[in-house]
């Protein structure tokens, strides 16, 4: 029996897209291998959000040179967000001549076609973003949780972020397709349905579909014993209607991931986040009032260009106010082609490192306080 091994980097969207790659391979009779070395087809589904993720891909793909030399029949494929950047795809193609297939997110749906390729090596690159990937078969791998895509892409162009470049503009799936997929997942026994999108609160706006709050209500009205989660929300688009559905509908998990990125208005402005700290805190207030038992989590970037000690202190003060239940803190990483790449006053690594550690300490303090009953 032929086997495959997929290594996935990055976010839940990539995890779900690896389920689609697995779906294609299973359809063709391949089975999952226990170890990468044993597999006939080896796939790396890459991430581009920070430099570290890309460095790991170079390291891990590079390490396959010997294996491929000894087993020329094995197929090595590299895909995902990193290879949706033309220069990165070309570099991988040149540096590692043993990679057989390279393609980006816009060509995910062509994976099966690429497997049948007649050429010796293949580098597929275009920016023809669409929703074709939604028609792929998938092989779910996340236990009781079923990921369900509701939309692709992002229109926000936060100045630090590569996502709009590697995922294209927002494209919402028809709600009927989403409901059908959720029904199938629930009927197959999945207990948690996680609706996925870079900016779920923009659902429908690109094509006149129903709103995200209406979509949540429709998903929740599907019969069965299951819960609903969603990610990710942009604070500028989170509506009172969505908060109300989370508050009032038993099927919705009482959880909201609301990335703030910074607690300083001047940093937020340079990030192009389109909200102020005051506006963000008013949304948090509304969430906490309407959903008393809510879990709120966030993403924070430290060391954005020009972030001063005072800006960082403002972020710490916001964290103390919100008392998050979980924080994902990242050191700013320069991404090629973004606006922030060209900004002056890049913050040195040592300072970013100290700031990220300070946030981890704050997170621990908050957790301890909550365990001691101080809300």
Comparison of 20 and 167: residue with beta carbon closer to ligand SF4: 167
Nearer Cβ to ligand 5AD (13/92): 13
Q: Quick one: which of 114, 147, 160, 212 contacts ligand 5AD (CB under 6 A)? A: 160
Which is closer to ligand SF4, CB of 217 or CB of 261?
261
Residue 156 touches which member of ligand SF4, ligand 5AD, none, C-beta under 5-8 Å by kind:
ligand SF4
Find out whether 192 and 226 touch, Cβ atoms under 8 Å.
yes
154 interface partner picked from ligand SF4, ligand 5AD, none, CB below 5 to 8 A per type: ligand SF4
Q: Which does 50 bind (CB under 5 to 8 A by kind): ligand 5AD, ligand SF4, none?
A: ligand 5AD
Q: Which is nearer to ligand 5AD, 191 or 279 (CB)?
A: 279
Beta carbons of 125 and 103 less than 8 angstroms apart: yes
Binding mask 247-266 for ligand 5AD (x = CB under 6 A): ------------x-x-----
For residue 375, the tally of other CB atoms under 10 A from its CB is 8
Report the greatest alpha carbon distance in the chain: 65
**Exactly one of 333, 339, 341, 343 binds ligand 5AD (CB under 6 A); which one?**
333
The gap from C-alpha 372 to its chain's centroid, in whole angstroms, comes to 33
- Residue (of 37, 138, 34, 123) closest to 86 by Cα position: 123
- Closer to ligand SF4 by Cβ: residue 234 or 352: 234
State which residue, 210 or 316, has the beta carbon closest to ligand 5AD.
316
Taking CB within 5 to 8 Å according to partner kind, which of ligand 5AD, ligand SF4, none is near residue 164? ligand SF4
Residue 166 or 219 having the CB closest to ligand 5AD: 166
Q: Which is nearer to ligand SF4, 158 or 252 (CB)?
A: 158
* Residue 115 Cα to chain centre, angstroms: 26
Q: What is the DSSP string of 131-192?
A: SGGGGS-----STTEEEEE-EE------TT--HHHHH-S-EEPPHHHHHHHHHHHHHTT-SE
d(CA 52, CA 57): 9
Residue 47 Cβ, how far from ligand SF4 at the closest point, in Å? 12
The conformation of residue 76, written as its DSSP 8-state character, comes to: E
d(CA 247, CA 233): 16
Candidate ranges 116-124, 137-145, 326-334, 367-375; the one touching ligand 5AD (CB under 6 A):
326-334
Q: Could you tell me which residues are beta bridge partners of residue 124? A: 103
Pairing of strands 171-172, 122-124: unpaired
Q: Which does 199 bind (CB under 5 to 8 A by kind): ligand SF4, ligand 5AD, none?
A: ligand SF4
Interaction partner, residue 287 (ligand SF4, ligand 5AD, none; CB < 5-8 Å by kind): none
Which one, 122 or 303, has the nearer CB to ligand SF4? Answer: 303
- Other C-beta atoms lying within 10 Å of the C-beta of residue 82: 29
> In the structure encoding, which two tokens stand for residue 206, read together?
């690109």
| Rounded Cα distance, 275 and 58, in Å | 37
Q: Which residues are within 8 A (CB) of 303 and not within 5 positions of it... i.e. 6 or more apart?
A: 331, 332, 347, 351, 352, 355, 356
Identify whether the C-beta of residue 299 lies closer than 8 Å to the C-beta of residue 334: no
**Could you list the residues that contact ligand SF4 (CB under 6 A)?**
154, 156-158, 161, 163-164, 198-199, 234
Name which position in 161, 238, 245, 294 contacts ligand 5AD (CB under 6 A): 161
Q: How far is the CB of 148 from ligand 5AD (least distance, A)?
A: 19
- Which listed option, ligand SF4, ligand 5AD, none, makes contact with residue 335 (CB within 5 to 8 Å by class)? ligand 5AD
Smallest gap from Cβ 183 to ligand SF4, in A, equals 28
Residues near ligand 5AD (CB under 6 A): 49-50, 160-161, 259, 261, 299, 301, 330, 332-333, 335
């Amino acid at each position: 029996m032929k086997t495959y091994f997929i290594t996935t980097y990055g976010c839940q969207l990539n995890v779900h897209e690896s389920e689609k790659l697995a779906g294609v391979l299973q359809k063709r009779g391949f089975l999952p291998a226990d170890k990468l070395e044993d597999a006939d087809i080896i796939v790396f589904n890459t991430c581009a959000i920070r430099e570290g993720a890309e460095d790991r891909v170079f390291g891990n793909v590079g390490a396959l040179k010997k294996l491929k030399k000894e087993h020329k029949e094995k197929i090595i494929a590299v895909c995902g967000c990193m290879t949706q950047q033309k220069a990165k795809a070309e570099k991988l193609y040149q540096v590692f001549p043993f990679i057989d297939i390279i393609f980006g997110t816009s060509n995910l749906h062509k994976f099966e076609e690429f497997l049948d390729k007649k050429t010796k090596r293949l580098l597929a690159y275009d920016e023809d973003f669409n929703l074709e990937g939604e028609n792929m078969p998938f092989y779910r791998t996340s236990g009781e949780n079923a990921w369900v895509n509701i939309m692709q892409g992002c229109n926000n162009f936060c100045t630090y972020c590569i996502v709009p470049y590697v995922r294209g503009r927002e494209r919402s799936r028809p709600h009927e397709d989403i409901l059908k997929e959720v029904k199938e997942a629930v009927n197959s026994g999945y207990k948690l349905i996680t609706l996925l999108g870079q900016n779920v609160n923009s659902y429908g706006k690109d094509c006149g579909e129903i709103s995200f709050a209406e979509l949540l209500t429709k998903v929740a009205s599907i019969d069965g014993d299951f819960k609903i989660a969603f990610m990710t929300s942009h604070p500028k688009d989170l509506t009172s209607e969505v908060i109300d559905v989370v508050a009032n509908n038993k099927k919705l998990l009482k959880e909201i991931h609301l990335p703030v990125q910074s607690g300083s208005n001047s940093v937020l402005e340079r990030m192009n986040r389109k909200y102020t700290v005051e506006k963000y805190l008013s949304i948090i207030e509304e969430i906490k009032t309407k959903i008393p038992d809510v879990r709120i989590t966030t993403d924070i970037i430290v060391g954005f260009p020009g972030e001063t000690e005072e800006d960082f202190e403002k972020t710490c003060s916001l964290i103390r106010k919100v008392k998050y239940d979980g924080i994902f803190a990242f050191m700013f990483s320069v991404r090629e082609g973004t606006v922030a790449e060209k900004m002056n006053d890049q913050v040195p690594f040592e300072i970013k490192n100290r700031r990220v550690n300070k946030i981890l300490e704050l997170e621990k303090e908050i957790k301890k306080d909550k365990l001691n009953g101080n809300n």
